[in-house]
Amino acid sequence: MEKKETADKFHMLWHFMRGSRHLFLIGILSTVAVTLLDMLSPQIMRASIDSVLGNSALPPTTAKLLETIGGREYLRAHLWCPALAVLAIAGIAAVFRYIAAVSNAQAAETLVKTMRDDLFGHIQHLPFSWHMKNQTGDMIQRCTSDVDTTKQFISEQLVNVFHIVLLLVLSLAFMFSMNGKLAMVAVVTFPVIIAFSAVFHSRIGRLFTICDENEGVLSTLAQENLTGVRVVRAFGREAYEKDRFEKQNNKYTDAWMKLCMLLAKFWATGDALSGLQIMLMVVLGSVLCVNGSLSSGELIAFISYNSMLVWPVRNLGRMISDMSKTGVSLERIYYIMSSPVEEDKPDALTPPLDGDIRFEHVSFGYDSASVLHDVSFTIPGHTTFGILGGTGSGKTTLMYLLNRLYDLPPGQGSITIGGVPVEKIRLDWLRSHIGMVLQEPFLFSRTIGGNIGITNDDLPQNELHRAARIACLEDTVLAFEKGYHTVVGERGITLSGGQKQRVAIARMLTQKSPVMVFDDSLSAVDNETDAKIREGLRKGLGDATVVLISHRITTLMHADRILVLDKGRVSQMGTHDELVSVPGIYRDIYNLQLKNEREADPS
């Protein structure tokens, strides 16, 4: 199972790289070219010192090449030629380094864009129940910080893998060809550095997981406080929320401090090992050079190759530590991408949704909490149906099940529209034909007109104004200086509760859905406005099937049928006149509200 999950993560990463693979390939090939060119310069310096300035024999091929330009004596008289060759190689290598850097940067940004696009698209299609179980701040952190961590590892280390491996192979090959004993001094410290890095790998991974989780909690706190700033101010909880944030921030900082301390020990130990290796190389190389076992040119070439190797070998350790952090980030990203999205059945239908809505023996609960118990009723098509019930009685849950924000588990009853089970209806078709206005509507940070017409990019202005008039919103909007072009704050914070509800009603009306659900959507408006909106709805909804969920009897009393829920069970059903004529919850609430209205208006 663990191997399969690891393979799935690599497959996910490979999929993310679909638009950047060719750029990474260019970067890798350019880096290979740089590595090969870097290998030539030490050999030119070695040959210049030992065979041009000295009298060591040159390889036959090199000797023939020198003869074509005047031989050894010519080079002794023109030492600028080897220097020019080194400069030429460095110049060509610089061009390839530039190509590698540019292509790698383009690949990295393409990768991160693809990752964010895929993550956002996937999250958009995850079930409503998944969103209820996961904190928004943590998900934002996964889509930003964890994506950046993954991008940095891929862009900085992927190309380096090929560079380091090729550099190790070629450098060690040249070093062993010159002097095996001195080459062993360079080699013997490599396994020590790599082994010591592997020991730190798991510890770094655990601490980074803690840091990442604490950052998610901190992001959630900040996000909640920024969006709920009005509530915080209203209750004077600034000091409490500040202390709460600082406590979590201290916890997050402490976690990072522990990680930084571990990384400091890791890098300091690695630097000490690398410094020891360089010291041994210089000392033993000098001894061998004095003894005649190694030429001056070979010693310089050895030191050059060793200098090339020190950082890559140290970088192997860094790659291992970064791999720990990236593994955690990939795990967190994989959690999102592996979460199953909502999917239609292969034979999903797109039937007309203006027929009767039927709930038959429906039972449902959230996790272990049961909400609905054997609920059965029918909403005839083209009628107005009211639902009354106390808090937690399951009124809103019925509508969530109707448009499949939650799926009804097998064996827990059935819900049909026009005789077609809702689970057999294509999701986008179902939801686009069931308009919903929630008690706490969500408005986006855009204009009032933009919020009303959000379901239709090509909505004519006369349709937008008509919807606003039915929702008793137009006079309010025109009172603003910029009218429909007035920008509302985040979540509509610059509008009152009643204004937000009326914007949401107007938005839903523009859909012209055959089924319209008003879930306690008039709770924040006064009775007079409530009556005007209900009158406007009766005239403007045509033959739509309307579901009114409310605590107000005045909102429901003109409905064709009214359902009364009590603790998730059907308590009563009938017309207003029928329900007030018999003892029960409905008549009790009616009498209580009627009494309150008379007391509020004694005239």
Summarised one tens digit per residue, pLDDT across range 284-327 is 878 777 777 777 777 777 777 777 776 676 666 667 667 777 88
If you average pLDDT over residues 438-457, what whole number do you get? Answer: 81
pLDDT of 306 reads 74
pLDDT at 53 over 70: no
pLDDT digits (tens, 9 = 90+) for 321-352: 677 778 888 888 999 999 998 888 888 899 99
Whether 312 and 259 share a structural domain: yes
More confident residue, 180 or 148: 148
Q: Last residue of some domain: 308, 337, 366?
A: 337
pLDDT digits (tens, 9 = 90+) for 467-477: 888 888 888 88
Report the C-alpha gap between 210 and 381 in whole angstroms.
Answer: 54
pLDDT of 574 reads 92
Whether 429 and 305 share a structural domain: no
Q: Is residue 472 part of a domain?
A: no
Whether 79 and 121 share a structural domain: yes
Structure confidence at residue 75 as a pLDDT band (50, 70, 90): low
Structure confidence at residue 209 as a pLDDT band (50, 70, 90): confident
Whether 418 and 383 share a structural domain: yes
Whether 214 and 333 share a structural domain: yes
Whether 253 and 189 share a structural domain: yes
Question: Taking a C-beta distance cutoff of 8 angstroms, is the pair 112, 20 a contact?
Answer: no
Whether 116 and 214 share a structural domain: yes
pLDDT at 51 over 70: no
Question: Taking a C-beta distance cutoff of 8 angstroms, is the pair 489, 443 a contact?
Answer: no
* Residue 382 falls in which region: left (phi positive, over 0), alpha (psi -120 to 50) or beta: left
Q: Is residue 523 part of a domain?
A: no
More confident residue, 319 or 252: 252
> Chain-wide mean pLDDT for the chain?
81
Q: Is residue 447 part of a domain?
A: no
Q: Is residue 594 part of a domain?
A: yes
* Residue written as token pair 């930084």: 260
* Residue written as token pair 């140290």: 314
pLDDT of 239 reads 83
Q: Last residue of some domain: 337, 363, 389?
A: 337
Tell me the residue range of the domain where 311 lies: 2-337
If you average pLDDT over residues 461-484, what whole number do you get? Answer: 84
pLDDT at 77 over 80: no
* Residue 500, CB-side half-sphere exposure with 13 Å CA sphere: 22
Structure confidence at residue 361 as a pLDDT band (50, 70, 90): very high
Structure confidence at residue 146 as a pLDDT band (50, 70, 90): confident
pLDDT of 288 reads 78
pLDDT digits (tens, 9 = 90+) for 552-573: 888 888 889 999 998 889 999 9
Whether 301 and 357 share a structural domain: no
Q: Is residue 444 part of a domain?
A: no
CATH number at residue 37: 1.20.1560.10
Whether 395 and 251 share a structural domain: no
Whether 310 and 363 share a structural domain: no
Q: Is residue 176 part of a domain?
A: yes
* Residue 421, CB-side half-sphere exposure with 13 Å CA sphere: 14
Question: Taking a C-beta distance cutoff of 8 angstroms, is the pair 364, 402 a contact?
Answer: no
Residues 6+ apart with CB under 8 A from 387: 395, 398, 547, 548, 549, 550, 556, 562, 563, 565
If you average pLDDT over residues 373-401, what whole number do you get? Answer: 89
Q: Spell 74-84 as b/e; 16+ CB within 10 A means b.
A: ebeeeeebbee
Q: Is residue 515 part of a domain?
A: no
If you average pLDDT over residues 267-282, what whole number do you get? Answer: 76
* Residue written as token pair 């686009």: 432
**Coil, strand or helix: which one is 564?**
strand
- Name residue 465's beta-bridge partners: none
CATH number at residue 366: 3.40.50.300
Q: Last residue of some domain: 310, 337, 364?
A: 337
Whether 247 and 367 share a structural domain: no
pLDDT of 244 reads 84
Whether 21 and 165 share a structural domain: yes
Cα Rg of the chain (Å, integer): 37
Structure confidence at residue 49 as a pLDDT band (50, 70, 90): low
Helices 180-227 and 136-153 sit at what angle, rounded to 10 degrees? 160
Q: What is the DSSP string of 304-346?
A: HHHHHHHHHHHHHHHHHHHHHHHHHHHHHHHHHHTSPPP---T
pLDDT digits (tens, 9 = 90+) for 183-208: 777 777 777 766 776 677 667 767 87
Report the C-alpha gap between 206 and 189 in whole angstroms.
Answer: 27
Question: Taking a C-beta distance cutoff of 8 angstroms, is the pair 379, 516 a contact?
Answer: no
If you average pLDDT over residues 533-538, what whole number do you get? Answer: 76
Total count of domains within the chain: 2
The share of the chain scoring above pLDDT 70, in percent, equals: 85
